[in-house]
Each structure stands twice: as structure tokens, then as C-alpha cells.
Structure 1
Amino acid sequence: MNLILRPVAAEFSKILTTRMWWILALVLFGYIALLAGGLAALFGGIDSGAISSDSVNTGGGGSLAGLGSLPPLIYSFAASVGYVFPVLLGALASTGEFRHQTLTPTFLATPLRARVLSAKTIALFVVGAAFGVVALAASVGVGALVFNGFGIDPLLADSATWALIGRTVLAMALWAVIGVGLGVLVPSQVASIVIVLAFTQFVEPLLRFASSFTQVTADVGKFLPGAASDALVGASFFTLASPGGAVLASWQGGLVLLAYGLLATGFGYLVSWKRDVT
């Protein structure tokens, strides 16, 4: 048991002794709180009549009926928008090893490289879950307060809401694993950051939008990592425009997301993790 716990403890030390994790966590909280609070106020105001729907283009003739239940959509911002942060943290945790050459003493202490990579994956899975809690504190905490202010039930007594919260934590943990795999596969820190930001903020949103035009492309687009994550969580603004039947089941989305993380980590192990680091 010590052979497993000691490398994992070492990986936690590497993460927690830097400033990057809490800086990303603070930015994540502020970003999600602003987004969730703003949209909860907008849609809550329209739904309650405090804001005239005539002055807002809701895409449904002044009605919010097409959006379904508002609280789950707002709460889902924790993962549907905030997932980039655990990916970045996972990538930085991996690429930092190559950049600062900390892999050399690590491999001297633990010669089995697969064990080191497994420990890093486990540690980032846990930290990713913690990021999920931070993001939910923003989306659920702020969103529920705003909904209460407009007299809308935030559904916090609903078991389905807590199931969504649990799946969101799992999704954020899996995104951190994907980040670890990407960082191992692309050891250059600059390159990995550019890939994460470009893909999550531009490439995948465009692919998901383009895939929604036909049923055939939608059936392919649902296997994109962001679409799989939204399917796992069970609610997202991004899935509202998807054609019927173009969304994976929750458990399928989780397996697809896990597969992305394992494939990236596995290929990274073969391509770069086994190379000389001196």
C-alpha cells in the first residue's frame, strides 16, 4: 500500500506547494459566479415578469418554455464552461515536470514510471473533483440565491439536482485526467496551453455547432469531449440546439470522457514519458 500512497502523496505536494492551483480556483469561482449569476438574473427576471420579455430575444417568441427547467441549466455552467480550468491544471502539472526537470529526482525515487504517472493521474482526479466543488459553489450558490430573489424554486430539495451536482464533480475530475494525458502527450508547456485554449474555446464549440445541422453529423458530434461531458452532467445550454437523439446517455458520456483521458495518457506514456529526461 505504501508503494501506491507515497507517490500519490508526492504528487499532491507538487501541486499544493505551487500557486497555480489556487489562482486557477479563484479565477474559476469568479468566472462561473459572474456567468451563472448574470444569466440567472436575466432568465429569472423574465420568468418572474420583473424583466419584460419584449425587450429580450429569447428565441421562443418571448417565452422561456423551450429552455426547460432553469436551475439545472444554470448549475451546469460549473462543468459546461468551467471544465477548461481542470484541464489546464492537469496539463500544467504534467508539462511542468518536463520544463523544470523535476522528473529526474522523481524517477530516481520511484523508478517505475508507470507508477508515477498513475499517481499523478489519481492526484489530479481528486484535485479536479475539488475544482468541481469550487465551480458548483459558484454556479449553485450564486444561482440559487438569484433564483430565490426572483421567487423561483432553486430545486435544492430535489434529488435530481443533487445527482446533477455529483455528476458535475465527476466530470470535472475526468477533465483533469484528460489534462494530465494531454500534458504527457505534448510535453511543451506553451504548446499544451495553446492546444487547450484553442480547442476548448474555439475549435470544439465550432465543431459542435456545425455538427448540429444534420442528424448524421450530430451522431458524430455527440462523441466530442465537451458533448460527452454535457451528457454526463445531464444539462447544458450547448445541448439545447442539438437534434433529438443526438445526446449520449449520462453513463455513456462518462465512459467517453474517461476514454479520452486514458487514451491521451496511454499514448503520452509511450511517446514521451518513457524517454530520457536528462
Structure 2
Amino acid sequence: MSLANATRSELTKQFSTSMWWILGIVLVFYIGSTAGGLAGVFGAAASGALPPGSTNMPALPDDMVPPLIYSLATAVGYVFPLMIGTLLVTGEFRHKTLTPTFLATPRRGVALAGKVVAGVVMGALYGAVALVAVLLPGAGLLAVFGIGTQLDDGATWALLGRMVVAFVLWALIGIGIGTLVRNQVGAVVGVLAFTQFVEPIARLAGGFVDGLSDATTFLPGAASDALVGASLFTTIGGSGSTAPGMESLAGGLVLLGYAAVLLVLGYLFSWRRDVT
């Protein structure tokens, strides 16, 4: 089977199940409510509707608020493409469908490449959905409170484009994890534990421990923030709008490196093993 046919088969598997749109709905509500809530708080504070000191949010210039709100799609929503990428592979192990997949595509490298291309499509799709989810409430509420949305600025659209790239790379990282960790429950629990607890705690500790901040810059979430160029995490943490010490290109390369290493390791040590 050719790569095109393998990719078509993978996309058919994805869109014939309910998991992709269930995760998509959760993504919309999660990112949309977060963006709307923070846009309302920042907008009300900037307009004087909230008295000074009534919130713990730092005072930010109006021109910093829109990128911060828009970047929530990746800052808090990157777990969704990561999860769909992981499930794209581990679902085959769990439901014992990998055997017919390999029978249809005996060349396992082509089979994995088909999943990678499908992951690019799913990551781009989730990225587009995330942009809609963050722009509608975020830009809408900023406009209501008289804060410029910056949607007429090319730099804003470049930031939005980098966010879609970040979603694609996170989906590829998820495929790498799913290829390396065959157990679906173990892979999902590991992904959630690392993204929601381990890395946030490590990055928070990096702000207080000398020498640790440089190391935490190379964590995948920090690299994703650097790629995008804005993040609630780094702004609230006092690091400015981008991850310290890393530019967008470097952040993208670090994130791509994680995906490449995981995919290669998964192919060498798991993907070529016998399927039971």
C-alpha cells in the first residue's frame, strides 16, 4: 500500500469514530471559556470597571493583552493534539486492529508514515478549531471593553500561524509517545501527568532555583510557548511574553526534535516488534 493509501486509511479510522469530535468539543469549551474569562477580566480592569488591586492579575499594557489571550489556545490547549496523536496509535494496540493494519500495509515504515501524515492533518484541524474557539470570545470581549484586537496586524496572524504549527508538532509528539508506549491507559495517564503536573511544577520551580530556569526552557511546553511567541504562563511568571533564552525558530526546532526522537525510538523499539 502506498503512503497516500495508508494516510487515507488512517484518516478514515479517525473520522469513523467519535473520539476526535468529542475531544474537539471539549477543546472548544475549555479554550473558549478560558479565553473569554481572561479577556473579560483584563478588559474590565483596563476599562476601569474593576477597581485597581481587585484581582491578582498583573497590570499589562493594552498591546500585550491580545497576544496573551490568543496564545491560550496553545498555552492551555496543547494537550488536545497531544492526546489525539497518542490515541491515534494506542487505539490500534488496545482494540487489536494493528494486525489488519500491518496486513494491509506490510511495510511498517509506510504504515507509521501514514499515521504521521494523518497526525499533521489532525493537528492542523485542531489548531484551526482552537483559533476559532479563542478568537470569537477573546477578540469579541476585548472589543467590547475598548481594547484593540490587533487582528489587522500581520504580526498577530503570524502568531496565529505559529500556533497551528505548534498544534501539528504536538500531534506528532503524541504519535511518537503512542508508538513507544503501547499501553493506552499508561500513555494517556503519562501524558496527563506530565503536561498538567510535572512540567508546570518544574517550570514554576525554575523561577526560584538558580540554574534551573535555563534547563526548563528546553521542556516541551516551554519550547511550544517560545515557538508561539506569547504565553500566559511566562507572562504571569514574570518572564515576559516569550520563553526566556529561546526564539520562535529555536522553540519550533526543539519541539520538532522531541517529535523526531520519540518517533524514531518508537519505530526502533516498539513498532517493529511482533503484534500479539
**Per the shorter chain, which TM-score range?**
over 0.9
Aligned to 1:30: 29
Q: What is the identity percentage for the equivalent residue pairs of Structure 1 and Structure 2?
A: 53
Aligned to 2:137: 142
| 1: CA distance, partners of 2:253 / 2:224 | 10
| 1:152-203 deviation digits (Å, cap 9, x = unpaired) | 1111001011000000000001000000000111110100010011000000
| 1: CA distance, partners of 2:166 / 2:146 | 30
Aligned to 1:16: 15
Deviation at residue 54 of structure 1 after TM alignment? 3.1
Deviation at residue 151 of structure 1 after TM alignment? 1.1
1:273 equivalent in alignment to 2:268: no
| 2: CA distance, partners of 1:186 / 1:118 | 17
Distance 1:157-1:68 versus aligned 2 partners, 3 A rule: closer
Please tell me the residue identity of whatever aligns with 2:95: H
| 1:81-135 deviation digits (Å, cap 9, x = unpaired) | 0000111111111001111121111111111101110110111111111101111
Aligned to 1:259: 257
Aligned to 1:161: 156
Higher mean displacement: 253-262 or 238-247: 238-247
| Conserved 8 A contact 2:31-2:73 | yes
TM-score normalised to structure 1 length: 0.94
Please tell me the residue identity of whatever aligns with 1:49: G
Aligned to 1:64: 60
| Conserved 8 A contact 1:74-1:139 | yes
| 2: CA distance, partners of 1:243 / 1:164 | 18
Aligned to 1:106: 101
Distance 1:215-1:252 versus aligned 2 partners, 3 A rule: farther
| 2: CA distance, partners of 1:188 / 1:269 | 15
Which one of 101, 109, 117 corresponds to residue 112 of structure 2?
117
The residue correspondences of 1:1-278 to structure 2 (distance < 5 A) are 3-59=2-58, 63-65=59-61, 69-214=64-209, 216-240=211-235, 241=237, 243=239, 246-278=244-276
| Conserved 8 A contact 2:3-2:111 | no
| Conserved 8 A contact 1:184-1:273 | yes
| 1: CA distance, partners of 2:64 / 2:166 | 21
Q: Secondary structure at the match of 2:2?
A: helix
Question: Cα RMSD between the aligned structures?
Answer: 1.5
Please tell me the residue identity of whatever aligns with 2:271: W
Deviation at residue 64 of structure 1 after TM alignment? 2.7
Q: Secondary structure at the match of 2:246?
A: coil
| 2: CA distance, partners of 1:18 / 1:27 | 16
Distance 1:116-1:269 versus aligned 2 partners, 3 A rule: same
Higher mean displacement: 181-190 or 209-218: 209-218
Q: Secondary structure at the match of 2:182?
A: coil
| 1: CA distance, partners of 2:210 / 2:129 | 36
| Conserved 8 A contact 1:218-1:242 | no
Aligned residue pairs, count: 273
Please tell me the residue identity of whatever aligns with 1:234: G
| 2: CA distance, partners of 1:219 / 1:258 | 19
Q: Which runs of 5+ in 2 are unaligned?
A: none
Deviation at residue 253 of structure 1 after TM alignment? 0.5
Deviation at residue 247 of structure 1 after TM alignment? 3.5
| Conserved 8 A contact 1:215-1:246 | no
Deviation at residue 18 of structure 1 after TM alignment? 0.5
| 1: CA distance, partners of 2:238 / 2:197 | 18
| Conserved 8 A contact 1:164-1:233 | yes
